[in-house]
């Protein structure tokens, strides 16, 4: 028996998604750029998927491009905003996913000024500081702040951040890789210029994602070639995976509320049992306020190093993580948790849920943790 509590790293592919993909791996093998029947069938599938993604965030289909995942979507947004939109200054944060954090850092080499917004103890951007930064700068600015933090689950108020960006004439890019399909997002009501998503965080396939580019922001090619994906991202499309992403996001939106309730029941039970069995436990992030319900980051007062703790859990059949998946296996401390400051003598694990998790799995996990911690 395996208990999978690492859904922020990736989620299992849902059966309906696989069924939707299979014809495009077999019979519908056409190149979507071909004009014959096979090509037209593949093209029609891609455009249906684009419609599903657009509908999910209330965008128009012309504002969605498919990418190889969240990493590429975020790279495209930031690098193209600098190259094509005259951005000379970026305001971001120390708790962004490394694909944003490293990209922003790299932009320093392009003579881009970088400011990091202050955060509260849960990892949420301080809006007063953000406003001060926006007010004082004279250079064209891009604000890049994530919606849900992938390690601790804290949510940023993207409505308010968007409004500030509008007020001070800055561009706004938000990484919604963790939140899309879990928390409703309506770009028609928010001031967002770029927004990223990824298939494998919502029971879709890996290696596919999307970038929403607001229709008023014209960017040039990020990958040159045959001119696919509105000439921004050339290369023959990953047809089956795009179909999978489309189906996965459709299902996530259709079952959003039902899945949320199921996951919150398991998560609440986990928190209750953690507090009852580990009185010194510390839960990181804004876990009781504005949070992403799939993520729970827990610090245990223990002398067992986190890698050992995770290893022992794994041996018992439980998959959890020490932070983001990119960090798993690494001995280095999580940048996010170091930024937020974890008390001395505590070690942190991330448990992340999907609607496939059950309360009985929590009972087993708590029993194992009692032996290990
Ligand atoms: C917040 C966030 N952004 C971006 C990514 C990268 O997405 P992908 O794995 O599709 O490249 C991840 C994946 O862990 C993430 O959690």
Q: Which residues are catalytic?
A: 326
Going along 13-93, which residue ranges are E strands? 64-67, 89-92
Ligand 1 atom 16: residue of nearest CA: 150
Q: Of 6, 67, 71, which is best to mutate to test ligand 1, by the most ligand atoms within 8 angstroms of its C-beta?
A: 71
Give me the DSSP letters along 151-172.
TT-BBP-HHHHHHHHHHTT-EE
The response to whether residue 154 sits with its C-beta less than 6 Å from ligand 1 reads no
C-alpha distance from residue 36 to each of 27, 41, 89, 218, 226 (Å): 14, 9, 47, 31, 18
What are the backbone dihedrals phi and psi of residue 159, each rounded to the nearest 5 degrees, phi first?
A: -65, -45
**Ligand 1 center to residue 135 CA distance, Å?**
31
Q: Which two tokens stand for residue 52?
A: 């599903």
The response to whether residue 92 sits with its C-beta less than 6 Å from ligand 1 reads no
C-alpha distance from residue 195 to each of 33, 112, 154, 234, 291 (Å): 26, 21, 18, 19, 19
Q: What pLDDT score was predicted for residue 20?
A: 98
The response to whether residue 73 sits with its C-beta less than 6 Å from ligand 1 reads no
Q: What pLDDT score was predicted for residue 137?
A: 83
Q: Is the pLDDT of residue 354 over 60?
A: yes
What domains does the chain contain, in order, with CATH numbers? 3-11+256-372 (3.90.1150.10), 15-254 (3.40.640.10)
Q: What pLDDT score was predicted for residue 342?
A: 86
Confidence bin at 344 (pLDDT 50/70/90): confident
Looking at the chain, the number of H-run helices and the number of E-run strands are 11, 12
**Alpha-carbon gap, residue 63 to 331, rounded angstroms:** 40
Q: Of 7, 145, 178, 210, which is best to mutate to test ligand 1, by the most ligand atoms within 8 angstroms of its C-beta?
A: 178
Q: Is the pLDDT of residue 204 over 90?
A: yes
Going along the chain, which residue ranges are E strands? 3-4, 64-67, 89-92, 113-116, 141-144, 171-175, 194-198, 209-213, 282-284, 295-301, 318-319, 346-352
pLDDT tens-digit series, residues 151-187: 999 999 999 999 999 999 999 999 999 999 999 999 9
Q: What pLDDT score was predicted for residue 323?
A: 62
Q: What pLDDT score was predicted for residue 196?
A: 98
């Amino acid at each position: 028996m395996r208990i999978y509590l690492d859904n922020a790293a990736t989620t299992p592919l849902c059966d309906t998604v696989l069924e939707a993909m299979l014809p495009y791996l077999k019979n519908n093998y056409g190149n979507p750029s071909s004009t014959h029947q096979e090509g037209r069938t593949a093209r029609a599938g891609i455009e249906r998927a684009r419609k599903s993604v657009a509908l999910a965030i209330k965008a128009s289909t012309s504002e969605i491009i498919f990418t190889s995942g969240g990493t590429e979507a975020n790279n495209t947004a930031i690098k193209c905003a600098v190259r094509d939109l005259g951005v000379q200054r970026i305001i971001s944060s120390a708790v962004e996913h490394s694909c944003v954090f490293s990209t922003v850092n790299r932009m320093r080499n392009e003579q881009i000024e970088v400011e990091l917004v202050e955060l509260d103890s849960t990892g949420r951007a301080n809006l007063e500081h953000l406003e001060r930064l926006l007010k004082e700068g004279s250079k064209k600015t891009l604000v890049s702040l994530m919606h849900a933090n992938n390690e601790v689950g804290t949510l940023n108020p993207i409505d308010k951040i968007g409004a500030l960006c509008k007020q001070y004439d800055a561009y706004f890019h938000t990484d919604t890789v963790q939140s899309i399909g879990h928390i409703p997002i309506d770009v028609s009501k928010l001031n967002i210029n770029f927004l990223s998503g990824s298939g494998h965080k919502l029971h879709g396939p890996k290696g596919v994602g999307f970038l929403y580019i607001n229709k008023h922001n014209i960017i040039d090619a990020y990958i040159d070639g045959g001119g696919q994906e509105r000439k921004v991202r050339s290369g023959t499309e990953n047809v089956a995976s795009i179909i999978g992403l489309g189906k996965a996001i459709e299902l996530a939106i259709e079952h959003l509320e039902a899945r949320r309730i199921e996951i919150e029941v398991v998560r609440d039970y986990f928190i209750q049992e953690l507090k009852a069995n580990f009185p010194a436990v510390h839960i990181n992030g804004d876990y009781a306020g504005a949070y992403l319900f799939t993520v729970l980051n827990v610090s245990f007062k223990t002398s067992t190093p986190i890698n050992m703790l995770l290893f022992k859990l794994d041996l018992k059949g439980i998959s959890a993580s020490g932070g983001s998946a990119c960090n798993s296996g690494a001995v280095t401390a999580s940048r996010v948790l170091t930024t937020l400051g974890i008390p001395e003598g505590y070690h942190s694990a991330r448990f992340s849920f999907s609607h496939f998790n059950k309360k009985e799995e929590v009972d087993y996990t708590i029993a194992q943790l009692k032996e290990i911690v």
